[in-house]
Structures are given as structure tokens and as C-alpha cells.
Structure 1
Amino acid sequence: VKLVCSGAGAAALACLDLLVSLGIKRENVWVSDIAGVVYAGRKEEMDENKLRYAQKTEARTLADIIGGADIFLGLSAARVLKPELLKTMSAKPLILALANPEPEIMPDVAKAARPDAVIATGRSDFPNQVNNVLCFPFIFRGALDVGATTINEAMKLATVRALADLANAEQSDIVAAAYGIEDVKFGAEYLIPKPFDPRLIVNIAPAVARAAMDSGVATRPIADFDAYHQRLLQFVYHSGLLMKPIFQAAKDSPRRIVFAEGEDERVLRAVQVVVDEGLAKPILVGRPAVIAQRIERFGLRLKPGANFEMINPADDPRYRAYWTEYHRLMERRGITQQLAKIEMRRRLTLIGAMMIHLGDADGMLCGTYGTHDSHRRYIEQVLGLRRGAKTCAAMNAVILPDRTLFIADTYVNADPTAEQIAEITLLAAEEIRRFGITPKVALLSHSSFGSSAHPQAQKMQSAVQLINAMEPELEVDGEMHGDAALSADVRDRVFPNSRLKGDANLLIMPTLDAANISFNLLKAAAGSGLTLGPILLGVAKPAHILTPSATVRRIVNMTALTVVDANVERQRALV
């Protein structure tokens, strides 16, 4: 490989040293600067650093040395590389024109002269932006975390290799959304990760830290890199701390989770993360050809049979067993044999529920399109309620800067009775404990500890009494205002004898309207869209209904939660 560099300042020489460390032969490196070719015996504008790249040659200009070059590295000035010079380079040349704000040659000019060229610049308005923001923050993160005494060559090489690995990985959903792209994968238009890629910190910082330790410059070696990786994830995903015990439990015992909308882009990207993290054994419902096409389109590494199982609604050997069982369950509720056959071909959530019912899967996620009711119908028909439960409900979590709040019932019961509210509270409290959190429950109302005789207020008062009788150890109180629930100081002024100590983390609302509106307001106004759920409570087996706005990260989080739910005995009585 022949490399020609325009520029011989500190940045250019540092880049050349790194490239030589990566394997480019020094004798194949040619350098030109403001005074011309760096050649042996040159006196003008020379120093010891340039001397190591001086060539024995009669060439004196960039034009004299660029012929046959495979790589052009520009760290000099605008318009140095002329189109006619570009034409003398070898086939498929790599052009790294990094001068700012105008590069040595503009990408469109370079493409016109050499359509086969692969081009990178420092500009964000063209593909392949080379920007030091891709590495500097994360090099320093890794170096500081191990107390490195210097930034050495090993640490820089580790950064390069981490960036290269990330460039070859599938595109991040966050990057796809930020840049309005969806089918980018490693190639001429995507040589280097984008600055918005959230995986940069979790890939580069550990690589740098490990290199510092291996090269002997770390004063505070990291003993547990898995724990370090999890800490870094919390910088990227604020849900990391909340989900930590759930992720660990899922990894310890992954289960078969069916994704009803297996063709959806977000689902496929989430499944890639699930496979990489070892959280679950995915089953995708969808057309094999469509899934394969989209895996290729999104640059994912998923392999059917190896990474996931597939069920084709149009052609699966279990079809007869599924529709027969569905007809048996529903024949006295208006489902004929013919309708059972039709439904089992077209209702993806029904297929997933039947897989769980017949033991072919352990849990399900659905709901990336459609309404909550339209999916819950099939879950209730096939899976039913757990023993002792008389209702199901939905709970969401919103992750705020200073706390995490769980809210119920956000999707199911429009105006629950006192008995239903008591049951929903117990189901929600049980689920919260899976996160390693002690539930502190407030039943909310427009009334504050008996200040109103309105039926809605009386309903919440009755629910508190029922809960206290059913689970006396649960820390719960109400009915109360929202500010009293979230501030012990406010509550103590209003009702100093409350059983609830500290701030509530589970808010039980009097109606679906109150719960859904509160959740969405908090999510938009204070939660930066960081949420978990909806978590479907009260169902006999784990099946959760997402929302059309679900992100990849939320799907990953809910997958882990579904695995944990699948490992818990759900058929025990509530009390």
C-alpha cells in the first residue's frame, strides 16, 4: 500500500506514526508540505520529526509522488489535491481530505474525477465525517477511569480497533433516527461511526482502559469489566440503573420470548441487542423472506436458526394444532372452525399467545402497532388471568432525573372499583419488587385524607382499607394529592400520621384517564421520553403489550423483564 500525505505538521505526523504502528510500511509513506516533498537532504522547513519520513528521491512536488498511490491523507490546506492528480492514483483510492473548513478536494469534485474513490472529510454534510469527537472524550474516559499516567501508543491503537469494530457492526437505531437513515452499513459511504452513536463510550473507553492496564500505565486497574461496562451504559441509557437487576436475572436464565411483530425494524434491532447480550432466546413471527431482507437492509448480524427461531404465519407445521386449540377454547364464544383458521393466519398476537399456551414459548412482546385493547383481547382469550386474579391492568414507569415513578392503571380499566384498585396495587407492588425496589404506594385523588365525600374519593379510601387487610406489610396510604405523594414534607404537613414514609414510587390512579394522562405528561415534560412498559399485570403467563411509540431500548428492556417474569411462578394466589 502506497500512502501520500499532504501536510507535515504535528497532526499529520501523529497520524502517520499511528498508521505505521498499524502496519503500513514506512518506506511506502511519502510526505509533502508547504515546501514540497519531504526528501533526504532537504534543509528548508525541516526538523527531526519530519526527518523519519524523508525519502531518497528526486521528486519535489505532490504531483511527482502521487502517481499510483492507494491512499491520500490530507492534513494541509484547501484545494491542494487537484482532480487531474487524483486521476493518477491507483484503482479505488482512499481519499482522506481532512483540512477544515474546506478539504484538500471537495467530495463531489473527487467523485466526478474518480467515481471509484472512497472519500472521507471533516465535514458533516458529506458521508464519512472524520471528527475527533469520535475518540477524544472516550479515550479520556478510559484513561481517567484507570488513572493512566499517560496516553500511549497502545491506548491509541485500542481506540482505532474499537472504532473499526463499531464501523463493521450494525447501525444504531439512535443514529438512524438522528440522521434520517436506516439502511447504512459498512462500505464506501459508511467507513466510520457517526458522532451520535451511543455505543462509542461503551466500546472505546473499556478498550482504552484495558490497553492502559496491559501496557503498565494504569494506577487504578479495573477488576470487573462487566460491572464497568454496566456503569458506562448508564451514561447512555438512563434506564440502566433501574434495569440492572432485571438484566442480570435474565442473563442468568434466558427464556424463549416470541416477538409478535417480528418484521418491524425496531424489533429486529432490539433482537440483535438481545442476542448480543444473551438476554433471551428470540422467536420472530413474520414472513421469512421479509425478515431476511430487512436484516440485510439494516446491516444486522442475525442468523435464523442460530440466533433466533421463526414462525411463518402463512406456512408453519404447528398451524393445525394452533387453530384447533383456539377453536376448542373459543367455540362457545362465537369462534367457528373456519374463523379459527383465518384468525390463526392473520392475528400475530394470537399466534404468539398460542405458542405460550402450548409450551412453544415462555413469554411474548407485541403491540408495536395497533391499540392496547386489540392485542389484549387475544391474550385474555388464550392465556387468561393468573390464579386468584379477577382483573388485569397496565403499569408504566417513567424515569425522571431524580427518581423513577411507576403508575397504574395506564391502559386497561376505565373506572376501576375499589376491589379492582386493591388488586391492581398488589399486582403492581409485586412487579416492582422484581427491580429490587421496595414499593412505597400512594393512592391518588382530588381528595386528601378524607377532605372530600365524592364517590371517587370514597372509592380510594375503601381501596386502602382493602389493601391493608390483604397485605398489611405493604407501605401504602391514601387517598392523597399528587404533591403529597411525591413529597414527604408536604404530606407530613397535611397528615403527619401517614403510614407512608418518604416519597412514593408507585402511584395508583383512580381512573384510566388520570393514569394515562399523568404518565404521558410526566414522560414529555420531565422524563425526556425515558420510560418502561406498559407492563401487563394479572395475566397467567408473561405477555406484555408495547405501544406504537416503543423505542429499541424499551423493547430490549421489556424483553429482559419478560424473561424474568417467565422465571417467576405466576400462578400462586395473590394473597
Structure 2
Amino acid sequence: MDKTKEDYAIKDNGWRTLADAIPNADIFLGCSAAGALTQDMVKTMAAHPIILALANPNPEITPPEAKAVRPDAIVCTGRSDYPNQVNNVLCFPFIFRGALDVGATTINEEMKRAAVYAIADLALEEQNDVVTSAYGGEGATFGPEYVIPRPFDPRLIVRIAPAVAKAAMESGVATRPIENWGEYTEKLTQFVYKTSLFMRPIFSQAKSAKQRIILAEGEEAKALHAVQEVISMDLASPILIGRKEVIEEKIKKLGLRLEVGVNVEVVDNENNPRYEECWKYYYNLTKRKGITPAIAKRVVRSNTTVLASVLVNLGYADGLVCGLFGSYGKHLDSIKDIIGLKNGVKTAAALNSLVLPSGNVFLTDTHVNDDPSAEELAEITLMAADEVHRFGIEPAVALLSHSNFGSSNTLGAPKVRDALKIVQEHNPQLMIDGEMRGILHFVRRNALKSCRIVR
């Protein structure tokens, strides 16, 4: 027996087999061979045994086999098709990341312990929507079927690497100490959340304003996960629309740290104390559009986007998020009927962002206007440019068409050229050109030398 094994050896009691040694054992840690641990052996273990059957590709005993004779057991394997997968991908990449980032001269026990504690702390937290989606929408909370984070959890790098880096600094093996932990954590976040840097200016504004934001589909898991992130990042004061008991049950099932009445407000559309105020407001707003009191009552109770819009207009909220299901157009129509357009604006439009390795691209209009006029195109362009500015980005606008700089005069190309003139009259400083095919905007060698988009 070598020195490593001697540290864990006990007095010789005459045991020569695993079956001899395992009665009343609290923990089984196996890295041997498939089938080494039998159901008869598991039966003899202590109450609530922990079974770490880590042989690969097949464990010493499978979770179903162990649970069949000991339902109280906590079983971990190296397999991804069973709960509690123990995989070195949970720690090795992030230990190395933390060690490299501080120039650690070695990986010591303090750094390993820091990784273990970071993993343990993360296991106690709620799962985010990335993990839930990766496992077919199945949520999990800390317990026998979830004692260790899942390998897909994008938060692993953000939790483990800083913990390892701090341990390296505190134990004296770091040669490049980190001074700004906020910046370091933000940098790590960008590895897994590609929109992190892109959204930073918006998040900064949100934190300073702390607006009351309604999520119209408050019973949806995606909405609840989003609210958890909003609260964790202190971005807004969220309000959920939905049945209170359903929302509370979903929160419990998903293992979220949301508390109705504490860090999140719920407007129960079936038991709303402001119901009369809301339906009367909606009726007065739409009674000339064929809406009767009976219809108004029904719509305000059943259409959560309508209710959210009414609550915004009445001053109970500052903004809303909707559209997790249903028609985009119907949601937009409800919002336009109740909230309307900004003063001076004639056209509503959609603005989408693409976060690409080569940079961020905004597309408009992707959802609303089928065949906009030149004036509408110009208005949409100017509004989009203003929104892009809010992201801290100087907009460069390409007006897209089937035509390249006058190569065609059919199917709307002249309209795009007219829109360009209107935009330039309203904002001569805006970097804009067109009409052009989309490929020209991305492949510069195909563009005209005189193209006004210089980057």
C-alpha cells in the first residue's frame, strides 16, 4: 500500500472484499469498473447514503439500480444521461482560467478548495434559462437529484475563475494580482454572454433609473428566469401579470429566488383590485372602435398585453415586455391602440440586433411595414439611428435594395433613393448610403469607391 492510500486506511478488521467493508458506510466513492457495486451491497449502507459511482463509460451501479433498493440514496455518476453528473469540465477549465489570469506559479490546495466552494455555492442557486433549455425545459433545485451544477451552466466560469484567482492571490502564488474585480468579472461574462458588452450602456442606464417594468406573460418560465436576472443585476422593479398561485408554483418548481410581494409584484388578471379602473379606461379609449363595456371587461381580464398597456398609461408601470407567444402584429396593435406612438412619430417599426463576431448589426424594419413609402423609410431610418446611439455606437446606415447605386429603376429602388435624400436633409451628419445590396455593406471590396459608409 502506498503512502496516499495509507492516509485513508483503517485498522485491519479482516475485511477482504467490498461486500465486507460497505455495511453502514455513509459514502461510496468508486473509480473502478462497471457492476462493482451490487444492489445487495447498497442495501447494507447507512441511511441516506451518497454513492459516487464514477467508473466510465459505465458506473459501478446505475442510479435506477441503486434507487430501486435505496430510494433515500444520493447517486452521482460521470454520465450525462443521469442526474448529478460529476465531470471534470466543471472545474478544470475554470481553475486554469483563474490561475492564468493572475499568473499563478502553481495550482495549490487553496485554489482547489476555492473551486470546490464556488461549485457548491452555485449548486444552491437557481438554474438559469440556458441550463433549463439544455435539459429540455427541466428545472431543478438543490436536492437528491441535483447536488452539483450541470456542465452546461454558463455561470461556472464567472464563479469559479474569480474564486481561484482570489485564492491564488491570498496564498501568495499570484504574480499579476487583479485590481478591479468588477472589470474582471465583466470580461469573463463576455466569454459566455456575447451580448454583455453590447448591452452594457443600456444596463447602466437601467440601474440608475430603476423603472417599473411589466412582463405581460408572467406565468412563462422564460419570463420568470428573465425577472430573476433583472433582480440579480438590479436593473428594474419587475411586475408580473398572471395568476398568483400559478406564478408562485412556477417559481418554486424552477427554484428561483423570487418572492411575490417582496422583490417582485404580481398583478393577478383574474383577481385584480384595479380591474374596474382598467376596463373603464380601456373602454373610454376604444369605445369609438366598436368596443362595448362587456367586450372591454373581457379583454382586460383575458388579454395580458392590453392589461399591461393600460397599467402603463395609468401610471402603474413605466414600460412593458410582451410577445412570448401569440402574433407579433396583434401585440403591436394592442400597444398602438392604447399607448400609441411618440409625439411627432407617424410610423411604428421593429429594430433587431445581431451580435456577430465581426461586430453588431441592426436590422429595420423586419416585422411591421410590408411596403413603406420613401417618407416612412426615412422616418424608420432616423429613429433606428437614434436607438443605435443609445447603445454607444455611432451608426453607419446602409439602405438595402435589389439595386446597387442606381443599377435598377424597378421594384422600389427609386423609393429607396428618395428615402436617402430625405434622411440626408434631416440629418446631414449621419453616415448613410444606398441603395445597395446587403453583400456590399459587409464586403467592402464590392462597394463603390465613392460609398459614404467608410467603416
> Which of 319, 323, 329 is residue 367 of structure 1 equivalent to?
323
Report how far residue 500 of structure 1 moved: 2.2
Are 1:228 and 2:181 counterparts?
Answer: no
Partner residue, 1:499:
452
Partner residue, 2:386:
430
Report how far residue 165 of structure 1 moved: 1.7
Report how far residue 455 of structure 1 moved: 5.7
Are 1:72 and 2:21 counterparts?
Answer: no
Partner residue, 1:420:
376
Q: Which runs of 5+ in 2 are unaligned?
A: none
> Which of 134, 158, 176 is residue 132 of structure 2 equivalent to?
176
Deviations, residues 199-257 of structure 1 (Å, cap 9, x unaligned):
21112111111221222211111112222222112111222221122222222332111
TM-score (norm 1): 0.76
Are 1:244 and 2:197 counterparts?
Answer: no
Partner residue, 2:51:
95
Partner residue, 2:233:
277
Partner residue, 1:439:
395
SS where residue 412 of structure 1 aligns?
coil
Q: Which runs of 5+ in 1 are unaligned?
A: 1-45, 503-575
Of 291-300 and 325-334, the range deviating more from structure 2? 325-334
Partner residue, 1:58:
13
Report how far residue 64 of structure 1 moved: 4.0
Distance 2:137 2:373 in 1: 48
> Which of 195, 202, 208 is residue 158 of structure 2 equivalent to?
202
Report how far residue 151 of structure 1 moved: 1.1
TM-score (norm 2): 0.95
SS where residue 393 of structure 1 aligns?
coil
Q: How many residues align?
A: 454
Identity among equivalent positions (%) equals: 53
| Contact 1:70–1:90, Cα closer than 8 Å, also in 2 | yes
| Contact 1:59–1:65, Cα closer than 8 Å, also in 2 | no
Are 1:324 and 2:277 counterparts?
Answer: no
Deviations, residues 242-285 of structure 1 (Å, cap 9, x unaligned):
11222222223321110000001111111111111111110000
Which amino acid in structure 2 is aligned with residue 499 of structure 1? Answer: R
1:372–1:102 Cα change, 3 Å: closer
SS where residue 283 of structure 1 aligns?
strand
SS where residue 366 of structure 2 aligns?
coil
Which amino acid in structure 2 is aligned with residue 164 of structure 1? Answer: A
Distance 2:139 2:409 in 1: 59
Deviations, residues 276-326 of structure 1 (Å, cap 9, x unaligned):
111111000000011011111112121101121110111212112212222
1:83–1:455 Cα change, 3 Å: closer
1:374–1:91 Cα change, 3 Å: same
Distance 1:452 1:471 in 2: 26
Partner residue, 1:143:
99
| Contact 1:135–1:159, Cα closer than 8 Å, also in 2 | yes
Which amino acid in structure 1 is aligned with residue 214 of structure 2? Answer: V
Distance 1:487 1:82 in 2: 64
Distance 2:360 2:66 in 1: 52
- For residues 400-415 of structure 1, the aligned pairs below 5 Å read 400-415=356-371
Partner residue, 2:346:
390
Partner residue, 1:129:
85
SS where residue 394 of structure 1 aligns?
coil
Deviations, residues 423-454 of structure 1 (Å, cap 9, x unaligned):
00010000001111100011111222222222
| Contact 1:155–1:212, Cα closer than 8 Å, also in 2 | yes
RMSD of aligned residue pairs (Cα, Å): 1.7
Distance 1:390 1:204 in 2: 51
Higher relative contact order (CA 8 A, sep 6+): 1
Distance 1:321 1:144 in 2: 60
| Contact 1:258–1:283, Cα closer than 8 Å, also in 2 | yes
Task: Give the 4+ runs in structure 1 shifted more than 4 A.
Answer: none
Of 451-460 and 52-61, the range deviating more from structure 2? 52-61
SS where residue 346 of structure 2 aligns?
coil
Are 1:334 and 2:290 counterparts?
Answer: yes
Distance 2:403 2:81 in 1: 56
SS where residue 13 of structure 2 aligns?
coil
SS where residue 438 of structure 1 aligns?
coil
Distance 2:339 2:137 in 1: 39
Deviations, residues 51-101 of structure 1 (Å, cap 9, x unaligned):
333333434334443332211112334433333332222111111121223
Which amino acid in structure 2 is aligned with residue 389 of structure 1? Answer: V
